Structure 1
Amino acid sequence: MKKRIRLISSILSLFLISACNTVSKKVSDPEVEKPNILFVVIDDLGWSDLGFMGNPMYQTPNLDRLATESVVFTNAYAPAANCAPSRACVMTGLNTPRHGIYTVSPSTRGKSKDRKLIPTPNTDDLGEDFTTIAEVLKKHGYINASVGKWHLSDDPKTQGFDVNIGGTHQGHPKSYFSPYRNKALTDGEKGEYLTERLTIEAIQFMESNKEKPFFLYLPYYTVHTPLQGKKNLIDKYKKIVNADNRFNATYGAMVEAMDENIGRLLASLEANNLTDNTLVIFTSDNGGLASVSSQFPLRAGKGSYYEGGIRVPFMVKWPKKIKTPRKTDIPISGMDVFPTLLDVVKSKEDLELDGASLYPLLTENKALAERSLVWHFPIYLQSVNPEKDQAGDSLFRTRPGSVIRKGKWKLHEYFEDGALELYNLETDLGEQHDLSEVNPDKVKELHEALKAWRVKMKAPVPTELNPDYEPLAVK
């Protein structure tokens, strides 16, 4: 009898062990299939600032090589033309009217006498009621780190990140050389370069978590002002740039240092056998600052809703799933990152997002459904360098308005006077020839679509006149 009991007990134990192993396998198998995600966002890097995008001055061999291994989007757009709103859109997958972050506060930029309208108030912080990419990935077993510029609240750890290195509400570094005076980053040795330090931190995070799926959001502070580069590279670019005022030697030094550190990241992935199943996304938060680096052939730069302010470099590498590196001219937005990552991890999260998943395009080269891309900016952003800004006037990089792109056509609407500008980007990438008068049907079509979008999004349109406005002051 005792032997029989022991036999039954042994069989039961084996069954339980087997059952536990089966359950364990079911839990862990999806984690094995989930790729690591390295999402690199450079600050203020322009569409025209990299070698593989045709820049003749700045040397970016690591990114040029990465481009040959990636799907490169030549018509990629930031969701907004400056830092905070673009990052809020990317992190939430929602366009600006949904979260109310339109600029780096306040919305009353420039002199009051030059503003015809009272602009829409700006929201400073991304509310914790918004769902972020990190929060969704965390539910799928990811460990998340934000290394670099956060700019949306005081601490990204309140919005889905497990690790925060260097991220505060701060929009740019006080110094690129240690001491940094950043409350979320301990100082290194005197003279340590911030871009290199963040890379070291990022590599340590990846190596420490290589046995589990990780999401590393790496929003470098570079190449945002203040312009501060390493002396040897500045000296190098002084000789390269020479007297060509379209380019800047210190900026070139910062771009090359950024490229060197991207090379270190990719080398670390390779050394740790992580390359094949790591999804790498590289982009910028908005267009380049025109007063620092020309975005030719695009018009204008950061802060403008002409192409130079919103078109950005964008590429994706994922060797396990993307078998054919290529270039594509399909227009996309930074808001597409969130829905894409939902597809990557096969999330069933029920979220209303404003972007579209790029997953079928990346993995199967399927075309995206035709859609319009829309930007809404009901505020003012003052001029930096009137000669290089290439704006509508010398006082502001942009005035309150909305913009829509559909196919090759792009329409700008300005709220102060109802002005409409129409451009054919296929034949006029530099937006030099306004076709609104010769193509009224296309203007009407796009304007109706834009107004319908604003109604759907409940997008605020400023109408209250500013009592301080002096029309004669506008030049």
Structure 2
Amino acid sequence: MVTFGWNTLMRSYAALSAIAILCVFSSCEQSSPTDIKPNVIFINVDDLGWMDAVFQGSNYYETPNIDRLAKEGMVFTQGYAGAANCAPSRACLISGQNTPRHGIYTVGSSERGKAGDRKIIPTPNNEVLPDSVLTMAEMFKMAGYTTGTFGKWHLGDDPMTQGFDVNIGGSHRGNPGKNGYFSPYNVDHLEDGPDGEHLTDRLTDEALDFISRNQKNPFFLYLPYYAVHTPILGKQELIDKYKNKKSTEGQSNPVYAAMVETVDDNVGRILTGLETLGLADNTVVIFTSDNGGIRAISSQHPLRAGKGSYYEGGIRVPYIIKWPGTATAGTRSDYPIVNLDFFPTFREMLQIDLQKKLVDGISLMPLLQGQKPSQRPLFWHFPIYLQAYSQEKDDGRDPLFRTRPGSVIRLGDWKLHQYFEDGAVELYNLKDDLGERNNLVKERPQKTKELLNLLEQWREEVNATVPDELNPAYNPIN
């Protein structure tokens, strides 16, 4: 699809001009970082895979602005999403709680795939994060911040009931729909722009306006782009560019590449806007993805599988934290983190007392300041089914499903998968076997027992359901 570059150019010019005018009248005066609380911008790209940026190793996509952010911040090479697909991962981030606590395990029904292929009846899925759950946005509001979200919410009809002062484009919707990356739009809470305007550009326009209007007060800006989720649609001039570029194995889709570059362009616009307003030194910028990429669209080799799977390709995601004065620019950490860690991190930053709030992550403050916390286990629980995208390319445990009901634990270099249908267990050493190909259950029985015990103890602690009722429709011979 062709987008009209002139409209996008004019909107970008108007947004930057507005910032420049505000600078003239305010002289871009800023209190020192010690006098005011830091602003926070959380960029959560949809379905961007671990290898889908140059700073992560891609030789096909072009991401100069994201790469610049990586040089200005701390990169986490072993960062994880709280779940392998959109809604549960976002619920983990926003609530600070793992999936058994909020009951959001997937999108829609937990009975995905053919009934005859499902051996057990999965745990029912919750599709809405209740307003009773204290959210990250509500915590920021308690600390006096103005809060805004620009893009995909996917946890209810309106994030303004869950702590946001401003909502542009967020609702229960999980993708922008047919032709939805170009105006006229299909998403809720967003007025149409000029014909052909690009959704990612528009969300950034709105975010820049929010920044300029709130430059004198601390703000929390959640920027969950709909991109690069399907439908795969890009700007025609970028598609043509990548058609003429040499591809690499598993990364060769010019339309998807165009989407990645558009996200990168808009990350650059956010960084430039902060600099223009003199806010860069007092703004925390976090960049990540809600889950792994779709393997049939973009390979994450050497990681196995992709979105919807609990092999590394489905849950390991890119992470950058730029935190001036706290995180040392240009550094890298191999300490495993998960998006559950941001709630307690911000709680420590804001010095908010939430004694009754249960959180499942840890504060990253010590890690950002150069300390290395002791090893702690990471857990994932998915008592549901997710059908295959592509039987040939998914690279899952079997060709029918990306996910069958089970749980996962990672501790140190070790990662264990447990499946509820048949009681099967897989054990991998990620240091030696990042692709999770060599199951070491027989070779390392003590390690297997240790991790299984920890996993079972955790499930009891969080009251995680383990489905075991046989599905009467199950037909093992198809």
Per the normalisation by structure 1, the TM-score is: 0.92
- Aligned twin of 2:10: none
Distance (Å, rounded) in 1 between the aligned partners of 2:412 and 2:249: 35
Question: 1:185 aligned to 2:190?
Answer: yes
Q: Secondary structure at the match of 2:402?
A: strand
- Aligned twin of 1:358: 364
Partners of 2:153 and 2:172 within 8 A in 1: yes
Quick check: 179-188 or 233-242, which moved more? 233-242
Query: Residue by residue, what CA displacement relative to the aligned partner does 1:115-166 show, whole Å, maximum 9, x if unpaired?
Result: 0000000001000110000101101100000100000000000000000000
**Aligned match for 1:97, one of 96, 100, 104:** 100
Partners of 1:241 and 1:249 within 8 A in 2: no
Distance (Å, rounded) in 1 between the aligned partners of 2:376 and 2:248: 43
Distance (Å, rounded) in 2 between the aligned partners of 1:357 and 1:247: 38
Question: 1:370 aligned to 2:395?
Answer: no
Question: Taking every aligned residue pair, what percent have the same amino acid on both sides?
Answer: 57
Q: Which one-letter code corresponds to 1:151 in the other structure? A: H
Partners of 2:60 and 2:248 within 8 A in 1: no
- Aligned twin of 2:313: 308
Shift of 1:32: 3.9
After superposition, where does 1:247-266 map in structure 2 within 5 Å? 247-266=252-271
Where does structure 1 lack aligned partners over 5 or more consecutive residues?
A: 1-27
Distance (Å, rounded) in 1 between the aligned partners of 2:150 and 2:362: 26
**Aligned match for 1:152, one of 155, 159, 167:** 155
Shift of 1:186: 0.2
Shift of 1:247: 2.7
After superposition, where does 1:422-433 map in structure 2 within 5 Å? 422-433=427-438
Question: 1:167 aligned to 2:170?
Answer: yes
Q: Which one-letter code corresponds to 1:215 in the other structure? A: F
**Aligned match for 2:216, one of 211, 234, 238:** 211
Larger radius of gyration: 1
Query: Residue by residue, what CA displacement relative to the aligned partner does 1:197-234 show, whole Å, maximum 9, x if unpaired?
Result: 00000000001100000000000000000000000101
Partners of 2:74 and 2:333 within 8 A in 1: yes
Q: Which one-letter code corresponds to 1:317 in the other structure? A: K
Runs of 4+ that moved beyond 3 A:
28-32, 241-246
Question: 1:420 aligned to 2:422?
Answer: no
Partners of 1:247 and 1:294 within 8 A in 2: no
Distance (Å, rounded) in 1 between the aligned partners of 2:248 and 2:310: 29
- Aligned twin of 2:144: 141
**Aligned match for 1:273, one of 278, 286, 290:** 278
> How well do the aligned residues superpose, as a CA RMSD in angstroms?
1.4
Partners of 2:413 and 2:430 within 8 A in 1: yes
Q: Secondary structure at the match of 1:387?
A: coil
Query: Residue by residue, what CA displacement relative to the aligned partner does 1:63-82 show, whole Å, maximum 9, x if unpaired?
Result: 11110111110000000000
- Aligned twin of 2:26: none
**Aligned match for 2:53, one of 45, 50, 54:** 50
After superposition, where does 1:118-133 map in structure 2 within 5 Å? 118-133=121-136
Shift of 1:31: 9.6
Q: Secondary structure at the match of 1:287?
A: coil
Question: 1:381 aligned to 2:386?
Answer: yes
Partners of 1:31 and 1:212 within 8 A in 2: no
Shift of 1:366: 1.1
Distance (Å, rounded) in 2 between the aligned partners of 1:244 and 1:427: 23
Distance (Å, rounded) in 2 between the aligned partners of 1:444 and 1:257: 47
Distance (Å, rounded) in 2 between the aligned partners of 1:144 and 1:461: 37
Shift of 1:324: 4.4
Q: Secondary structure at the match of 1:122?
A: coil
Shift of 1:375: 0.2
Question: 1:390 aligned to 2:395?
Answer: yes
Q: Secondary structure at the match of 1:86?
A: helix
Partners of 1:153 and 1:169 within 8 A in 2: yes
- Aligned twin of 2:23: none
- Aligned twin of 2:337: 332
- Aligned twin of 2:113: 110
- Aligned twin of 1:5: none
- Aligned twin of 1:88: 91
Partners of 2:33 and 2:281 within 8 A in 1: no
Partners of 1:283 and 1:314 within 8 A in 2: yes
Shift of 1:245: 5.1
Closer, same or farther: CA 315–244 of 1 in aligned 2, 3 Å: closer
Q: Secondary structure at the match of 1:471?
A: coil
Quick check: 118-127 or 29-38, which moved more? 29-38
- Aligned twin of 2:406: 401
Partners of 2:200 and 2:226 within 8 A in 1: yes
Partners of 2:153 and 2:171 within 8 A in 1: yes
Shift of 1:359: 1.0
Distance (Å, rounded) in 1 between the aligned partners of 2:399 and 2:405: 15
Query: Residue by residue, what CA displacement relative to the aligned partner does 1:146-197 show, whole Å, maximum 9, x if unpaired?
Result: 1000000000000000000000100000210000122210000000000000
Partners of 1:116 and 1:416 within 8 A in 2: yes
Query: Residue by residue, what CA displacement relative to the aligned partner does 1:55-101 show, whole Å, maximum 9, x if unpaired?
Result: 01000001111101111100000000000000000000000000000
Where does structure 2 lack aligned partners over 5 or more consecutive residues?
A: 1-30
Q: Which one-letter code corresponds to 1:121 in the other structure? A: P
Distance (Å, rounded) in 1 between the aligned partners of 2:189 and 2:313: 32
Question: 1:35 aligned to 2:41?
Answer: no
Q: Which one-letter code corresponds to 2:468 in the other structure? A: T
Per the normalisation by structure 2, the TM-score is: 0.91
Q: Which one-letter code corresponds to 2:111 in the other structure? A: T
Question: 1:195 aligned to 2:213?
Answer: no
Closer, same or farther: CA 337–387 of 1 in aligned 2, 3 Å: same
Shift of 1:241: 4.6
Question: 1:64 aligned to 2:67?
Answer: yes
Distance (Å, rounded) in 1 between the aligned partners of 2:436 and 2:353: 41
